[in-house]
Amino acid sequence: MNVNRDGLTRRALLVGAAATAAGLGVLGTTRALASAKPLRAYAADKGILFGSSISGHALKDPSFAELFKSQCAITVPESSLKWDTLCPTPDRYDFSGGDWLYGLCKSNDILMRGHTLVWEQALPTWFGYIVNSENANKMMVDHISKVVRHYAGKVHSWDVVNEAFQIEDGRPDGLKITPWLRLIGPEYIETAFHAAHEADPGATLVYNENWLEPDDAGTEKKRNAVLTLLTRLKKSNVPVHALGIQSHVYAEMNITGPGFNRFLQQIADLGLSFMITEMDVRERNAPADIGIRDRMIASQYYKYLSFMLQFPALKTVITWGLSDRYTWLATHNPRPDGMPVRPLPYDAELKPAPSWDALRNAFLEAPWR
């Protein structure tokens, strides 16, 4: 009989996987496994790093902190390494939050990503009063150099530039009209990557973007704009090594279509790896019934990850939060009916949700990379 290391017959797994795929989730069988191995172990069995973002606030919750340390092989601070947190006043850097998290990661065999060096959000309150077209380039380069040198040799990878595209802004290159674009020009992107590489030549440097997944005409334009940029950067020997695909998605979306598939293949053909950097799954119009919502969400996790993990270039899967207890969506995108959102592998009581099973099954079935 073909039995895997969890003592499950292949048939039981397939039934579990098929049911999860259909969003039904054979909870009896797979639930018994929920405590069998942590998600980081199922992922590691296939050469994949699994983890979640983290906040200092959540780590003050002892039961959550234990869950985080058991499940995650990699993490990324939601705020500790952003400019507004690092630099509350123009003349002072406060690395205490990032250093504390790095210490916790190091003592728990967890890798840490850096997020994010250049973004139009999370800028310090003093930014608008001090930064201008004369000094913007130097201010950006100095910030990158200081932060990347501080963590040189310590981080898994850096999101150097985050969310630089917005087709609706009307530029032919699709770039978002941000303070960086206005004050420096489109070359701010390559300047940022060169500065990060100079500060830590061993660091993996990532361009991180949202809303690349849906199969619609507007998103296709954005994918083409991102591909054009990355192709140009690679041709100019700009040190960019990977694309971060945030994957903040809806359960109802088609996010495994031919356009996205083609895009991912083109990214891989550039010699870039890619990462799922911020995944969570919310519902747009689902009914209030928690069972139905959980099955919709689990089904999307399973379908999307099975699709993405077919690419050997994908080696890192990070959810944006690990438990609904600390999801950003509770405040940033609550349900109109006020029901608690359920976008993550653990619910607000820190119990594994059906999406935990979906992640596990996707890792179990993924090819080795």
| Interacting residue ranges for ligand G3I, rule: CB under 6 A | 78-79, 82, 121-122, 162, 210, 246, 278, 328
Q: Tell me if residue 163 is catalytic.
A: yes
Residues 78, 213, 278, 283: which is the catalytic one?
278
Question: Residue holding tokens 């947190």?
Answer: 85
CB-based closest residue to ligand G3I? 328
β-pair type (242-245, 111-112) = unpaired
Q: Which is nearer to ligand G3I, 42 or 64 (CB)?
A: 64
User: What's the min distance (Å) between Cβ of 156 and ligand G3I?
Assistant: 16
And the tokens for 140?
A: 């950006």
Q: Which is nearer to ligand G3I, 30 or 162 (CB)?
A: 162
Q: Tell me if residue 120 is catalytic.
A: no
Q: Which is nearer to ligand G3I, 96 or 121 (CB)?
A: 121
Name, in order, each residue with C-beta under 8 angstroms of 129's C-beta and a sequence gap of 6 or more. none
Cis peptide before 191 (omega within 30 of 0): no
d(CA 357, CA 352): 8
d(CA 225, CA 167): 8
User: What's the min distance (Å) between Cβ of 246 and ligand G3I?
Assistant: 6
Q: Which is nearer to ligand G3I, 163 or 357 (CB)?
A: 163
d(CA 181, CA 136): 10
β-pair type (248-250, 111-112) = unpaired
User: What's the min distance (Å) between Cβ of 278 and ligand G3I?
Assistant: 5
Q: Which is nearer to ligand G3I, 121 or 133 (CB)?
A: 121
Q: Are 240 and 234 in contact (CB under 8 A)?
A: yes
d(CA 211, CA 247): 7
Query: Quick one: the chain helix, strand, coil %, rounded to 5?
Result: 45, 15, 40
Residues 78, 163, 209, 220: which is the catalytic one?
163
d(CA 63, CA 347): 13
Within 13 Å of residue 310, how many CA atoms lie on the same side as its CB?
11
Q: Which is nearer to ligand G3I, 48 or 279 (CB)?
A: 279
Q: Are 148 and 200 in contact (CB under 8 A)?
A: yes
User: What's the min distance (Å) between Cβ of 209 and ligand G3I?
Assistant: 9
d(CA 195, CA 200): 9
And the tokens for 337?
A: 């009916």
User: What's the min distance (Å) between Cβ of 74 and ligand G3I?
Assistant: 16
User: What's the min distance (Å) between Cβ of 83 and ligand G3I?
Assistant: 10
User: What's the min distance (Å) between Cβ of 329 and ligand G3I?
Assistant: 9
Q: Which is nearer to ligand G3I, 44 or 65 (CB)?
A: 65
d(CA 340, CA 343): 10
For the annotated catalytic residues, the residue numbers are: 163, 278
